[in-house]
Amino acid sequence: MTTITPLIAGNWKMNGLKQSLSEISELAQLLTTGEAPRALVCICPPATLLHAVAEQGASSGILAGGQDCHTANAGAHTGDISVSMLADAGAQYVIVGHSERRADHGESDDMVRAKAEAAIGAGLKPIVCVGESEAQRDAGQAVSVVAAQLAASLPDAAGQHSVVVAYEPIWAIGTGRTPNSADIAEIHDAIRAQLVERFGETGATIQILYGGSLKPQNAREILAIENVNGGLVGGASLLAKDFYTIISAV
Ligand code: PGA
């Protein structure tokens, strides 16, 4: 069986000012004084804090990631951020296709795939997000919706380069609700099968994260599910203590 090093990634979303860097110091301290983490640890802060997080986290192994990127490397795209800028600021990862970007900015699977390609081109690992709405789940379409999104959002280059997949049911994000373990397992197993079918052995090594109300209280149960290779954590990543508890649950 392939062993996959889990990844626990924190998505700060549009939260965090300079003073929030104290959470990075606290997390760094917890990570270096406690038991060695059994997972890679990454924080995706807002772009304004990326460089500081990358610098401050480096000595304790905290990796940094962006929350989005443009498909182009530079140019006339006011307000956007390119993959080379993220890499230059110290990022190793970038989240692409988060449901909030898909909803708020109309990002299509094609655009998400182009962003993932750009990320790979810059040496970043894209964290490609997929997930069904509540209506789609109620209609029994969760597996098929996720499969279609994944097929269209993951670039072929994922067969040769490091990518991460995050399954985030939209209705679980920020709501305190999560699917039950069997439902999570069903989707993660289906994603794994799809990755292996498309990428062969490489597909067996791709981290599949669960995201959506992952908390200190449910982390142990969810992270123990087969084919759950870590988590993408929103709200509970804002406080070092909570995030560390989730990391320790691996
Ligand atoms: P949540 O967010 O943990 O606050 O539900 C997860 C995410 O959107 O990545």
Residue of 23, 70, 98, 188 marked catalytic: 98
Question: What's the mean pLDDT in 21-41?
Answer: 95
Question: What's the mean pLDDT in 83-87?
Answer: 98
- Given a cut of 80, whether residue 2 has pLDDT beyond it is no
% of the chain surpassing 90 pLDDT: 97
Write down the domain spans for the chain: 7-24+44-236
CB distance 130 to ligand 1 below 6 Å: no
Which CATH fold would you assign to the domain 7-24+44-236?
Answer: TIM Barrel (3.20.20)
Contacts for 110 with CB less than 8 Å, ≥ 6 apart: 152
Of 43, 168, 223, the one to substitute when testing ligand 1's pocket (max ligand atoms within 8 A of C-beta) is 168
Q: In this predicted model, what pLDDT tens digit does every residue of 163-219 receive, in sequence order?
A: 999 999 999 999 999 999 999 999 999 999 999 999 999 999 999 999 999 999 999
CB distance 71 to ligand 1 below 6 Å: no
Question: What's the mean pLDDT in 119-148?
Answer: 98
Q: Whose CA is nearest to atom 9 of ligand 1?
A: 234
- Given a cut of 80, whether residue 1 has pLDDT beyond it is no
> Is 70 a residue of the active site?
no
**What separation in Å is there between the alpha carbon of 76 and the centre of ligand 1?**
31
Q: Whose CA is nearest to atom 7 of ligand 1?
A: 234
Quickly state the pLDDT bin for 90 (edges 50, 70, 90): very high
pTM to 2 decimal places: 0.98
**What separation in Å is there between the alpha carbon of 100 and the centre of ligand 1?**
10
Q: Whose CA is nearest to atom 3 of ligand 1?
A: 234
